[in-house]
Structure 1
Amino acid sequence: MVDSLTKESSITDCTPNLDQNCILAAIDIGTNSIHMVVVEIEPTLPSFTIIAREKETVRLGDRHPKTGELTPEAMERSLGALQRCQDLAKSCNAEQIVAVATSAVREAPNGRAFLKQIQSDLGLFVNLISGPEEARRIYLGVLSGMEFNNQPHAIIDIGGGSTELILGDSHEPRYLSSTKIGAVRLTAEFITTDPISLGEFQYLQAYIRGMLERPVEELLSHRQPGEELRLVGTSGTIETLATLHAREKLGTVPNTLNGYQMSRKDLKEMVKRLASMSCAERGAISGMSDRRSEIIVAGAIILVEAMTMLGVECLMIGERALREGMIVDWMLSHGLIEDRLRYQGSVRERSVLKIAQKYQVNSEYSQRVANLVLSLFNQTKGHLHDWDCEERELLWAAAILHNCGLYVNHSAHHKHSYYLIRHAELLGFLETEIEIIANLARYHRRSTPKKKHENYSNLSSKKHRQLVCQLSALLRLAVALDRRQIGAIARVQCEYRPHEKELHLRLFPAQPEDDCALELWSLNYKKGVFEEEFGVKLVATLESAPVTVS
């Protein structure tokens, strides 16, 4: 059980090898609807084929007006819809279901409790994702069905609770944003008349412009001089508008709306007509569902105002978005995509390093701690723990960011680290994973995890709490091994002796004459947490032989 510690210690040492087709289902629990797509993944290409879709309007966004909580009725509708999605996925022989929740669940005080109820009642684990992470996956989804030819494209996705604005050019997204304006949210908050009154219409326009001002300005600032901007629109609101437009202009709806174009002029005229109708009149239009007719005006105003502010005259429809992006993200995380989306494979690593830089983390020190803790993780795997590459990646992130709380204050900086990580925009990570990373950093020193700690009790399962207890104990050792923050310990060699229940650490100093007294003292001081967690005795010895660095 020997592992040399080098700069090449990686967060992605183990990648599943899929050599045959598999069926995957992706569920998006949105503010207005629950959507599912079932696909067959062909890893040798790599690509995926959509074999089934499901959608049900559940209106999770119709939250309690005073408390902001998800209502029992909306949660009951959602549980029923999710059960039907599971049944369909099973009938399609799906081997796995990945599910995410977005705006409505993110913001509701009882949102996390609802996710626990889903897991308890249906056995379905749902990941809560942030607005920027939602935008990133939308970008992946759009790229999976549309070629940008390295030209800048803005993407707008109008959901029930939020609107995502994205700028990309086939490669890494230049800009990602999520703004709290959506068709369900704005309808509930601002529209009380039917048809909508002129006053409410104009107020809604002004409110939307105010909310979009900053994200539009920031998006445009990421465009290079002279670049022409194209706009791609996704989501139910935009697809419904495209369907109405095609019926009016072509007399029929194309088999696929992907690539279909509408002018801003036509959209403005359509918004005026829709706003002049009652909800019942809009519902009678061919291609307009009753539930969509209730919120289409607010959604359409968002679209027209965004196009005006972006200065674009034409919109192109993209049929793929968040759900397909979830599929692409799954393929990326399993090492199946190595072409034009290769950059996304390292999105987590780059996001962590960006946050570390933001909070002025000592990069050389944090990387040494990360190398040490990954070495300990690798050498004790299969002996003291059975965590795998996914958990290893979270441990790496926590090691890099464990000291970021110093940016706030040295006193109790481990608690500041938790807060900064928890509220950082770590792209590529799920909310649960961010919570784990933050907790690992929180417990790299001082108090051990306790149920009375709110941050620890927020972890969604017993498995996650055990993960934090065990990996934070490893992180404590790694921090102790670089106590002077000079890289005094160059390498660690572990030997587990099961009969004695002992873990022996041979420590190799970077300088032969260095007695590493402070590191040995710190290790002895902190080892109690590790020994109690794993039920072993830790024995450390310093090797006097010089280290050969390859």
Structure 2
Amino acid sequence: MEPAARGGAAHPRVPHLRPAPPGGAALAEVGVPVLEPVEQLVGTGGTIRNLAKIQRAQISYPIPRMHGYVLDRHALRRVVDLLVAVPFARRDAIAGLSRDRADTVTGGGVAVLTVMDWIQARSLMVSGQGLREGVALEHTTRLRSSAAARRASVTALVSRFTTWEEGRATRRRRIAATLLDGLLPHVDDELRDTLDHAALILDVGRSVDYYQRWEHAAAIVVAADLRGFSHRRIALLSSTIAGAGGSRPNVRAYAPVLSAADRLPVEQLSLILAIADQLERRSDSSDAVPQVRRRGRGRGVVLRLSGGCGGWQPSDIGRRFKRAFGHEISVEVDSAAP
């Protein structure tokens, strides 16, 4: 590539490239793939991370880590246009731009954008690790699936907190799973995993403040380096835990990662987590789980409780439950329970 100066910026001039992105057949002739709709382009390296930092500095974004950040092609184009328009001497004023990349990031941005146009990539996911880390991992460890990586990350996180008790977390997890199967039997794996991880993680917030454990656990989730979690999964997990504390989940605080369409699912998961937490605290270390039964003709939902849970009443949850699930909730106690 031959660099050309324009407006104080260096960007590549490639005379043999066509002015418009070629079609799939032309790309196939030279061995350049076109992304399938289900495929995601991933980029690594300092230039790509810096382009993402510039774009993220222009918006309010809830997840602090860069690894896993998704840079939309149109957003990248706006970043490149900004870099081209600002002379080199004034680029220090661009938020997010690293000073040591001020002279090269424009050309890098044009190159990345050209690749995205050519292979028809709608977005670019930023990797926080480089090729060297990938080579080292490939030759020294067995690469895990995303699900296995998430489980290992949650296990590593909770093990750092003395307030976390495996027995309580396991009981809460079991109760939450039973409630989910009874209330939302067809929920997708993403939401099911979110509730499962939330039930395990909740108690880490007690290390800061018992009475505000939901908010603190939610903040810990956002700040932690949870491997295998996309930014969306982190936002779902954090908002679900925070919403279990008694208030309506503030999905708007997690925009643009979450949208208005996520409000109801997050509220439902938060409510299930809140009920599971309350029942677990009354369970007297028993393995009893509630039974969920729906009354006919939409007359409500009944939780049949046993063991130490028998004294629980949904007095502070009833209104939230009807809003989230569209039904009244009532409790029956197993007469055979001790």
Alignment of 1:464-503 (within 5 A): 464-484=262-282, 486-488=284-286, 490-497=288-295, 499-503=297-301
Instruction: State the 1:421 CA deviation.
Output: 0.8
Aligned residues: 260
In structure 1, distance between residues paired with 2:249 and 2:38: 36
Instruction: State the 1:486 CA deviation.
Output: 2.9
In structure 2, distance between residues paired with 1:475 and 1:355: 19
1:28 maps to a residue whose letter is V
CA distance change for structure 1 residues 68 and 421 in 2, over 3 Å: closer, same or farther? same
Q: Is the 8 A contact 1:480 1:526 kept in 2?
A: no
* Residue of structure 1 equivalent to 2:332: 541
Q: Is the 8 A contact 2:231 2:257 kept in 1?
A: no
> Is 1:364–2:158 an aligned residue pair?
no
Q: Is the 8 A contact 2:43 2:125 kept in 1?
A: yes
CA distance change for structure 1 residues 27 and 495 in 2, over 3 Å: closer, same or farther? same
Instruction: State the 1:170 CA deviation.
Output: 3.5
In structure 1, distance between residues paired with 2:309 and 2:41: 56
1:39-92 CA-to-partner distances (Å, cap 9, x unmatched) read xxxxxxxxxxxxxxxxxx99x7997533424799987876664343227xxxxx
CA distance change for structure 1 residues 536 and 85 in 2, over 3 Å: closer, same or farther? same
* Residue of structure 1 equivalent to 2:125: 101
Alignment of 1:31-430 (within 5 A): 31-32=46-47, 64-69=91-96, 81-86=115-120, 101-102=125-126, 131=128, 134=129, 139=134, 142=135, 155=136, 169-171=140-142, 332=145, 346-360=148-162, 361-382=164-185, 386-430=186-230
* Residue of structure 2 equivalent to 1:28: 42
> Is 1:516–2:316 an aligned residue pair?
no
* Residue of structure 1 equivalent to 2:242: 442
In structure 2, distance between residues paired with 1:506 and 1:406: 29
CA distance change for structure 1 residues 503 and 434 in 2, over 3 Å: closer, same or farther? same
Instruction: State the 1:33 CA deviation.
Output: 5.6
1:79-117 CA-to-partner distances (Å, cap 9, x unmatched) read 664343227xxxxxxxxx9x6532xxxxxxxxxxxxxxx
In structure 1, distance between residues paired with 2:194 and 2:297: 31
| Greater helix content | 2
The TM-score normalised by the length of structure 1 is 0.41
In structure 2, distance between residues paired with 1:428 and 1:413: 24
CA distance change for structure 1 residues 24 and 442 in 2, over 3 Å: closer, same or farther? closer
* Residue of structure 1 equivalent to 2:7: none
In structure 2, distance between residues paired with 1:515 and 1:404: 23
In structure 2, distance between residues paired with 1:442 and 1:349: 20
Aligned partner of residue 305 in structure 2, secondary structure: strand
Instruction: State the 1:397 CA deviation.
Output: 0.7
> Is 1:504–2:313 an aligned residue pair?
no
Q: Is the 8 A contact 1:418 1:439 kept in 2?
A: yes
In structure 2, distance between residues paired with 1:138 and 1:371: 37
Instruction: State the 1:450 CA deviation.
Output: 3.6
In structure 2, distance between residues paired with 1:430 and 1:442: 18
Segments of 5+ residues of structure 2 without an aligned counterpart are: 1-35, 50-75, 84-90, 98-104
Q: Is the 8 A contact 1:394 1:437 kept in 2?
A: yes
Q: Is the 8 A contact 2:149 2:227 kept in 1?
A: yes
Q: Is the 8 A contact 1:439 1:468 kept in 2?
A: yes
RMSD: 3.9
In structure 2, distance between residues paired with 1:171 and 1:74: 33
Instruction: State the 1:546 CA deviation.
Output: 4.8
In structure 2, distance between residues paired with 1:488 and 1:543: 15
CA distance change for structure 1 residues 136 and 495 in 2, over 3 Å: closer, same or farther? farther
Specify the structure having the higher radius of gyration (Cα).
1
* Residue of structure 2 equivalent to 1:216: none
Q: Is the 8 A contact 1:402 1:417 kept in 2?
A: yes
Q: Is the 8 A contact 2:202 2:213 kept in 1?
A: no
1:130-174 CA-to-partner distances (Å, cap 9, x unmatched) read x3xx479964xx4xxxxxxxxxxxx3xxxxxxxxxx6962336xx
Instruction: State the 1:527 CA deviation.
Output: 3.2
1:441 maps to a residue whose letter is I
2:93 maps to a residue whose letter is K
CA distance change for structure 1 residues 431 and 457 in 2, over 3 Å: closer, same or farther? closer
Segments of 5+ residues of structure 1 without an aligned counterpart are: 1-21, 35-56, 88-96, 103-128, 143-154, 156-165, 173-328, 334-344
* Residue of structure 1 equivalent to 2:319: 528
In structure 1, distance between residues paired with 2:171 and 2:154: 15
In structure 1, distance between residues paired with 2:209 and 2:133: 37
CA distance change for structure 1 residues 409 and 393 in 2, over 3 Å: closer, same or farther? same
